[in-house]
């Protein structure tokens, strides 16, 4: 696995504007801590509220989840743009959506719930048909993380012991959420005491019109990827990096999500829409930030640009939301009520030798960064 360091990129203009002292771009985010409920064993769950200007995020210690994210529209009206719940109890009873969570130890899927590392075969829980999904039956999304305030945000830590969900090595993961310069930044770190595999990402569902405000089919999406990783019926890649040209997966120019989502295409049928990994060619060094995606909601004018150091982004169009999740303010989350843009390594990489490696060894520190940068269009 590459040891990621953030390089100088086109997004450095934000820091330059701060240095120049332009108003509103370098305010200190306010951080407040409060309780969000308690686990069945009595463990208190805390929520940290981060606010800079009109941008406000709430992060809780259960699953290191992004609970809410308030963003202004073109007229300055603020709305919460991520799906979730108003209280802790429905998060605890929801086994399948992963709203806002940090997923691991291996986000996305591992085929047949098995992989070989160092000549030894490991078995991990099959919680998605014949495959393992988002770390297994008790992944990082179902753990209580420890947390403390840091400048502009909060840092959360989780220790996953050797053998946890079948994975080797005791893994220490840290995740930092910070607000600055109209962006939410999520920074990931991990170390291990034995060879292991790792794929950390955030599983937030975005609806830039506001959570509960219809579907995302008219959202205009751009993904600067020439290739993607086709999957089989179990949504496991075959190892091919296929061109997007001439397919419904070509988002190199801005395209409405609903324009081709129901085309007669085998890949779309397998996933009931979009649920594929896109190959971000600019990321081959594993160090510099590059654009992974941009979304525009025409109704509100809100835009979200996703920048990352990761080699891939999983675009998921909320195909398995089915109306059973009653979210914030009683909103019913129907199919395609939101989208996910999960920056990460590729699915099933431990079983795909041609994919970027997800191995982490003692003495190495995994480090990746993803930013969600918000603006508006008229």
Q: Which residues are catalytically annotated?
A: 203, 342
Structure tokens at 279: 């190959």
Q: What is the C-alpha to C-alpha distance for residues 137 and 202, in angstroms, rounded to an integer?
A: 17
Could you tell me the CA-to-CA distances from 355 to 195, 201, 346, 347 in Å, in that order?
18, 17, 7, 9
3-state secondary structure of 247: coil
CB 32 within 8 A of CB 137: no
65-72 and 78-80 as β-strands: parallel, antiparallel, unpaired?
Answer: antiparallel
CB 8 within 8 A of CB 373: no
Q: H or E stretch including 89?
A: helix 88-93
Structure tokens at 188: 């990931």
Sign of the dihedral defined by the CA atoms of residues 115, 314, 354, 118, in that order? negative
Q: Among residues 197, 242, 225, 221, which one has the least CA distance to residue 308? A: 225
Could you tell me the CA-to-CA distances from 193 to 161, 187, 364 in Å, in that order?
10, 21, 10
Structure tokens at 322: 């089915």
CA 353 to chain centre: 24
Q: What is the C-alpha to C-alpha distance for residues 81 and 213, in angstroms, rounded to an integer?
A: 9
Tally of residues, the chain: 378
DSSP 8-state symbol, 239: S
């Amino acid at each position: 696995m590459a040891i990621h360091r953030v390089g100088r990129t086109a997004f450095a203009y934000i820091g330059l504007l701060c240095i120049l002292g332009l108003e509103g771009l370098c305010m200190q985010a306010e951080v407040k801590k409060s309780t969000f409920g308690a686990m069945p064993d009595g463990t208190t769950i805390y929520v940290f509220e981060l606010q800079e200007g009109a941008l406000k995020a709430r992060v809780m210690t259960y699953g290191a989840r992004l609970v809410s994210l308030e963003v202004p529209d073109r007229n300055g009206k603020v709305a919460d743009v991520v799906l979730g719940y108003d209280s802790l109890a429905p998060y605890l009873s929801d086994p399948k959506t992963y709203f806002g969570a940090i997923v691991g130890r291996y986000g996305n899927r591992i085929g047949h719930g098995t992989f070989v590392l160092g000549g030894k075969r490991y078995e991990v829980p099959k919680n998605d048909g014949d495959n393992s999904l988002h770390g297994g039956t008790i992944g990082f999304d179902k753990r209580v993380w420890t947390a403390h305030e840091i400048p502009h945000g909060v840092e959360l830590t989780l220790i996953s012991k050797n053998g946890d969900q079948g994975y080797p090595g005791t893994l220490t993961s840290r995740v930092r959420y910070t607000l600055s310069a109209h962006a939410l930044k999520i920074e990931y770190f991990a170390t291990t005491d034995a060879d292991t595999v790792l794929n950390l990402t955030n599983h937030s569902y975005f609806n830039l019109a506001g959570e509960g405000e219809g579907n995302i089919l008219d959202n205009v999406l751009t993904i600067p990827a020439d290739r993607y990783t086709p999957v089989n019926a179990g949504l496991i890649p075959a190892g091919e990096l296929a061109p997007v040209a001439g397919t419904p997966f070509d988002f190199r120019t801005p395209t409405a999500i609903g324009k081709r989502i129901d085309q007669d295409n085998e890949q779309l049928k397998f996933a009931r829409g979009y649920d594929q990994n896109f190959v971000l060619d600019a990321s081959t060094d594993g160090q510099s930030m590059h654009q992974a995606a941009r979304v525009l909601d025409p109704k509100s004018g809100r835009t979200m640009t996703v920048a990352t150091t990761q080699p891939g982004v999983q675009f998921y169009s909320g195909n398995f939301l089915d109306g059973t999740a009653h979210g914030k303010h009683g909103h019913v989350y129907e199919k395609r009520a939101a989208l996910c843009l999960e920056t990460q390594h590729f699915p099933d990489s431990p079983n795909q030798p041609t994919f970027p490696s997800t191995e982490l060894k003692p003495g190495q520190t995994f480090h990746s960064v993803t930013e969600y940068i918000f603006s508006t269009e008229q």
